[in-house]
Amino acid sequence: MLAETGAAPVEVLRAESVDLVRGGRYLLREVDLTVRAGEHWTLLGPNGAGKSTLLGLLGAVTHPTRGTVRVLGRQLGKVDVRTLRADIGHVNPRHPLLSPLTVRQVVLTGATSTIDLVPRWTPSAEQERDADELIDLLGIDGIRAARWPELSQGERGRALIARALMPRPRLLLLDEPTTGLDVAAREQLLTGLDELRAEHPDLASVLVTHHLEEIPASSTHALLLREGEVVAAGDIEEVLTTDRVSACFDHPIRVARLDGRFVARAQPGRSLTDRRSRPADL
C-alpha cells in the first residue's frame, strides 16, 4: 500500500542522543535509533551491552537521563506512559503468570493488558475471534485448551506473542524470545515470527538477542551494541558483517548467511588484533 501511494513509511520509534545513567555509570551513551513501520530490527551484543535496557526505553518502561525518545509519535516525559504502553506489544519470556490459565485465556489477557484474567470481565465476540485467529497464526491451535503449567517453554513463547498482539499494536518488542528453547522449539518460534511479519506488513518490531542464530530470516535491520554504545546500525546485511560483529564481541567471529538466516563461527588461530591489521572483510 505504501509503495502504491509513494508515501514514506511511518516512523514508529525515534531515539536521539540518548544517555541512561544509573549510580554514576552509563548504561547507554549517545544512542540513536529510528524504526519505521514494516521494519524488523534486531538488537545484538554481548551480555551486559545494554540491549534490554534500550528495549525498556523503547517500550516506555524507563525514561532516558538525557536525550529524546519518541514512541508512536509521543515523547517520553510528555505523555501518560500507561496509555502509550497499551499500543505496544511487549513479549517477556519470564511472564510472571502463576494461575493455571489455558492458552486461550492467556492470549485473551492481552486484551486487558493484565497478567491474569480480570474478575467478572467477559471478552467480546470480536476479542474471542481475534484470540483464535492469533492462536492459529502462531501454530498453537492444537494446545489452545492446555494449561500454562503444562506448556513447554516454546509453547509459552508463542502464546505470549499471540497475547502481545491482542491489542493490535503497531510495535512489537521481543526480549530474547528464544531463551531456554531447544533447537526444534526455537525454529518453530522463529518460523512463527516470519509468518506473523508477512501477515502484518505494517507491524514494526524490535528483537533482542546475543546469538546470530536466533535472528529471524524476515529481519530487516540491526543495531550492534557494546558497553552501552552503538557499534553500527542500519540495514542488516551491512551491519552484521564479520568485522563489525567481531568488533562488537571483541572476538574474531566469521559471519555468514544461509537460507536467509545468520550463522556465526569463531575463526581458529586468528586474534582480533590480527584481523584489525588486515583489510576490512565486509
Query: Model confidence over 42-96: pLDDT tens digits?
Result: 999 999 999 999 998 998 888 999 999 999 888 888 888 777 777 888 888 788 8
Which pLDDT belongs to residue 22?
92
How much is the pLDDT for 129? 94
7 has a pLDDT exceeding 80: no
First to last CA, the chain: 34
Note whether 165 and 134 are within 8 A (CB).
yes
Q: How high is the pLDDT of residue 278?
A: 43
Confidence check: pLDDT of 258 > 70: yes
Q: Which three cell numbers stand for residue 127?
A: 476479542
Confidence of residue 280 (pLDDT cuts 50, 70, 90): very low
Kindly list the domain boundaries of the chain, sorted by start residue: 2-87+169-276, 96-168
Q: Calculate the CA dihedral of residues 161, 258, 221, 61 and round it to 10 degrees.
A: 30
Give the C-alpha separation, 262 to 256, whole Å. Answer: 6
For the ranges 22-36, 186-200, 255-269, the one whose mean pLDDT is highest:
22-36
Considering only residues 278 and 11, tell me which one the structure prediction assigns the higher pLDDT: 11
Please give the Cα distance from 180 to 267 (Å, whole number): 27
Q: Which of 226, 216, 230, 223 is nearest to 259 (CA)?
A: 216
As a CATH number, domain 2-87+169-276 is: 3.40.50.300
Q: DSSP secondary structure string, 218-253?
A: T--EEEEEETTEEEEEEEHHHHS-HHHHHHHHTS-E
Identify the pLDDT of residue 275: 47
The pTM (predicted TM-score) of the whole model is 0.84
The helix/strand count (H/E) of the chain reads as 10, 12
The DSSP string of 36-55 is ETT-EEEEE-STTSSHHHHH
Express as a percent the part of the chain with pLDDT over 70: 92
Task: Kindly tell me if the per-residue pLDDT of 154 is higher than 60.
Answer: yes
